[in-house]
Chains A and B, each alone.
Chain A
Amino acid sequence: MVSNEQIVNDDFKNLFKVNKGLWIFIFIDFLVFIGLLAYHLSNGFEYKNEFVFAKSQLLFSFGFFNTIILLTSGLTIGLSKVALFNKNNFLSTVFVFFTFLFAMIFIANRAIDCTYLLNNGYMFGSDAFSNLSVGLSSFFTTYFLIYFIFMIHLFAGIVFLVILLLNLIKDVDEKLKYIKLNFTVVYWSYLSMIWAFIFPILFLI
Chain B
Amino acid sequence: MVNENQNNMNYGKYIIAWVVLILSVILQVVISGISLGSNSQFYILLLASISAFVIIAVYMTDKSNKLISNFFKGIILLELLFVIFYDFIN
Contact = CB atoms under 8 A, between A and B. Distances in A.
Q: Which 8 A-B pairs have the closest CB atoms?
A: A189-B59, A204-B32, A196-B51, A75-B18, A78-B14, A193-B55, A189-B60, A82-B9
Contact of B59 (A23, A192, A205): A192
Interface in A52-84: 64, 67-68, 71-72, 74-75, 77-79, 81-82
B25 A68 contact: yes
Interface of A: 8-9, 12-18, 23, 26-27, 30, 34, 64, 67-68, 71-72, 74-75, 77-79, 81-82, 85-86, 185-186, 189-190, 192-193, 196-197, 199-201, 204-205
A204 B55 CA distance: 20
B48 A197 contact: yes
B32 A82 contact: no
Q: Which of A75, A85, A196: most chain B Cβ within 10 A?
A: A196
19 contacts: A8-B2, A8-B6, A9-B2, A12-B64, A13-B63, A17-B64, A75-B18, A79-B11, A81-B9, A82-B14, A86-B8, A86-B9, A185-B60, A186-B60, A189-B60, A193-B51, A199-B25, A199-B48, A205-B40
Interface in B58-81: 58-60, 62-65, 68, 72, 75, 79
Contacts of B18: 71-72, 74-75
Contacts of B84: none
Given A68-B25, A205-B41, A196 B55 contact: yes
B36 to A, nearest CB: 12
A197 to B, nearest CB: 5
Contacts of A196: 21, 48, 51-52, 55
A189 B61 CA distance: 10
Nearest to B25: A67
A8 to B, nearest CB: 6
B55 A192 contact: yes
B35 interface: no
A89 B85 CA distance: 48
Contacts of B68: 23
Interface string B6-18: 1111110011011
Given A190-B60, A192-B21, A196-B55, 7 more contacts: A12-B6, A30-B75, A34-B79, A68-B22, A74-B21, A82-B9, A200-B44
